[in-house]
Every structure is written in structure tokens, then in C-alpha cells.
Structure 1
Amino acid sequence: MTTGLDGRLALVTGAGRGIGAAVVTALVEQGARVVATDRTAEGVEALAGEYGDGRVTARTLDVTDADAVEALVDETEHALGPLDIAVNVAGVLRASAVVDLTGEDWAATFAVNSTGVFHVSRAAARRMTGRGHGSIVTVASNAAGVPRAGLAAYAASKAAAVMFTKCLGLEVAGRGVRCNTVSPGSTLTDMQRALWTAGEEDASARRVIAGDLASYRTGIPLGRIADPADIADAVVFLASDRARHITMHDLYVDGGATLRA
């Protein structure tokens, strides 16, 4: 079976770098047209410039703004046609022990990681259900399923995104729309590197792979940190016809780090 993505139209949030940019590249390689969005223009415009043939359209989008999301989806469908795929990648991480976590940090984390997923998924589902087909994929985190010290806001927001996506999938399954999540573990992105010791990237990576008993964090059984392309491949699979009978599924892509707890 082919992926069935040739000619389909996808919207990807958080596409300016990291996993989001890798998802755009993977979708285009399968023949899809992509509207690549991010809060700032630089990354998505550079990505669009790599193709130059209209396969990637760059747009700025703040996923926390419900009106802006609806307006962009309307613009996309008016200019490019019906939306077939929506991928939620936009995310933020503010690491802190709970006792030191500010209300602003908590609210800002949920605004992007949970409410932003709601805004984009709702806008896509409203249109997809009327046409009887579509796929929505949310990039969450393995932290959504396993407690992590210093990541309470991030983990809780990602857990909310996972359960929201499953509930949406249940509601729209009868109208031909599939909703799934991909939950990465440690991945070589700017977000990951922000947690590492400055100037000690190699040593920090080794510590992630080895794990840390003192902080109750397992290592990575496969012995490597994921590349963004590893996550993108999982997203593309779930968005494609090869996953046509999969919905409400949470696919862990973490090298076994959670021991699938």
C-alpha cells in the first residue's frame, strides 16, 4: 500500500525548526503540499524557500489565538483547497520544580501545548468531518505517561493533549477522521539542548542515554537520542493511508526509554 499522501494538503504547526521542520520535509517527500506555520516567520520562510515550487507555503501563526487559527484555516482552504491533514507540533517547555513554578509559566505552557492543540484540531475537525475524511496527528511526549522531576507543567500539558486527541478521535471516527498522537522521548532539538549543560553537549547526551537513578529517570535502551526525522516518520505513517485503521493511538518513539510504563 502506498502512503496516499501525494497531492494532499497538510497544515503543520511549530514548523520553523526541529521536529516540525522534519515533519514538513517528510510530508513533502511523500508528495504532500504543506502549509508550514510558526509563531515567527524566519524558519518557515527558509523552509519554503528550499522548495520554491509551491509545495511549502509559509505562514505565521500563534496557536494560542483561536481567531487567528480559524482565519488561517479558512485562508488555506480558500487558496489551496480542502485540508486533509493537520499536525500539531508547536510546543514550549519551561523546566522548574513545582514549588518554584510560576503561575505564568504554567499558563503559558498549557496555552501552547494543550489549548493550541485544541484550537488547531477543532478548526481542522470542523471541516474534515463534513467531507468524511482527514487525519489529525498531535506530537506529545513520553513525559505525558511517566512522571519527570522538574517537568510537571510540560508533562501535564502533554498528557492533556494526548487525552484530548483521543477524545476527539472517538467523536469524529464515525465521520471518517482519524486522530492519533506521537510521543517522542529525548530528541536532538533546541528544546532538548536547552536542558543540557552549556559547552558539554556530548557529555550531556551521554547522560541522557545512560539515565539518572537519582532523578528517577531511565536511560534509553536503544543507546541513542532520536533525530527529528525519527519522529517525523512516525507522524507521516499515522497521517497516511498505511494507518487507515488506526485512530486514538499514542505511538511512543523513545528508544524504549519509558519501558512503555
Structure 2
Amino acid sequence: MERQDIEVFLTLGEELHFARTAERLRLAPASISQTIKKLERRFGAPLFTRTTRRVGLTPLGRQLLDDLGPAYRQVEAAIERAITAGRGETGELRLGYMSAAVARRMLALIDTVRGHAPGIRVDIRETALSDLYGPLRRAEVDLSVLPLPVTEPDLTVGPVLLSETALLAVSASHPLARRAPVTADHLTEQTFLFAQGLPGYWVEHHLPLARSAVSVTTLPGFQEMLAYAASGHGVAVVGAQVEQFYPRPNLACLPMEGGSTFDYALVWRTDDLSPPAAAFLRHVVSSGRPPTL
């Protein structure tokens, strides 16, 4: 029996109605009748009883339905599992992320991907600003959502998941707190706060307005940056999410001239993209443009 013959027989055995079977399989009603007649010739006996009012299974038809149905469903399930595995849509995926806004965006994407690839089990892990590339390089995660730029020879940058406006975090009592937007002239001789361990190119990229006479102080991490800025010991370039997710009583976040942004993209080890990670990337790309904060 060919696959279509099996599908026609099983569907008619469930529906017991030629027109509904044809509609369900998107075939012509005449094709359903021809297939059943062909099968009945092969088996040498009727599979269905037909009257003007109803269609029923003969004892042979009932026996074939009971024997064939479960076996066919097992075959279909095996084929589907093989296709899913071949596409990488099964297995464990470890995702790294940094910041609350990225987590919210990523969790929404995970829900979408699970709807298309339920065989992928996703484990999420937070990454510290002071150790951006460590989890990837130590193979603790398969993909990580990191703030750009990422210019590392062993890492590949993929699609952007989130873009947010860059703001200047200062103490509420800082003279700059009364100025908006902040211009390059306002930033002369300011001390900029950054997390330790960030590449020089990353720091330079996020100092777009500080063109002269500035200094940089590095601190253990992001929370320390905010604490120093709130206490007047420097200024920090931060994303717009700080106002929503990391507010502090004495911290002001100011718009800056130039409209710079923080962009967060998926990054992976160039020579080590697992099948589940590749499947996740495919679904991310098909999900549309990234949101902006």
C-alpha cells in the first residue's frame, strides 16, 4: 500500500463519509472512491458498506483499521522525529544573556521557538558585564545575547535582538543633571565609569561624545557603575532600560546628543554552532525586526 492509499483508508475509516474525507485530505471525491475500490480489489473483499445514507466498515475493514492505524501513527511519529532531529530542532540549548530587558525579549523568543520546535530544551544563564565573552569561550553557553560591538576572531555576531537608546547616568545633584540633551562640550573632563575586563574597542565605541580630556575608571561590575554614578564619582553611558529595571533614588539618566544606541545581538563560537543553536537562529531570523526601547 502506498502512503496516500493508507491515508485515504484510515481517514475514511474515521469519517465514514466520502465528502468529508475528500475535504480533509484535499482530494477529489472521485479519487477517494477510486482508491478504496483499488484496495478492495487487492484484498479481494469489501472494506466498507455503502448505502445512500451511510458508510460503514465491514469486518475486514474494521480489522485492517485496528491493525494499520497504530502502526501507521508510529511510522509517522518516527519520520517526524527524524526530520526534527535533522533540522537540529531537538536537544538542549544553553542561552546566555545580559540585562533585564534582554531577558524579557529573549524569553518571548524562547516561547515562540518552543511553539515551532518543542523538542528543543532551553536553559538560560545570566552573563556579567565584566565577563562578556567568558561563558561562550568556556563553552558554558551555546549562544549569548551580548551588547555590541563584538570584534573577536573566535566569535561570530548574528541578528540583533534588541536596540535601546543610550543615556548618560549621573548623580541627581551633578551639574549635568540640569542639562538635556547632553552634548560633547558638556562631557569635557568627565570621568567615565566602565566595568572591568571590557575590550578597549568596546569602551571607545561607547564614548561617542567624549572627544577630549576625559578619563576612564573601571569597576567590578554594572551595579558598582550605577552606585558610583549615583554618588557623583563619575558618569556612565547606559541603556534606556536602566530607568525601568535599575532605578536608584539619586540617579538621573539623561538623553545625549547624537542618538547613539546599545544594540544586543546573538553571538556564538565561530567554529562551534550546535544544531539546536542553528535552529534557534533560524526561528529568530524569521520572527521579524527587533524591538527598540
Q: Considering only CA atoms, is the larger Rg found in Structure 1 or Structure 2?
A: 2
TM-score (normalizing by structure 2) = 0.28
Quick check: which one's strand share is greater?
Answer: 2
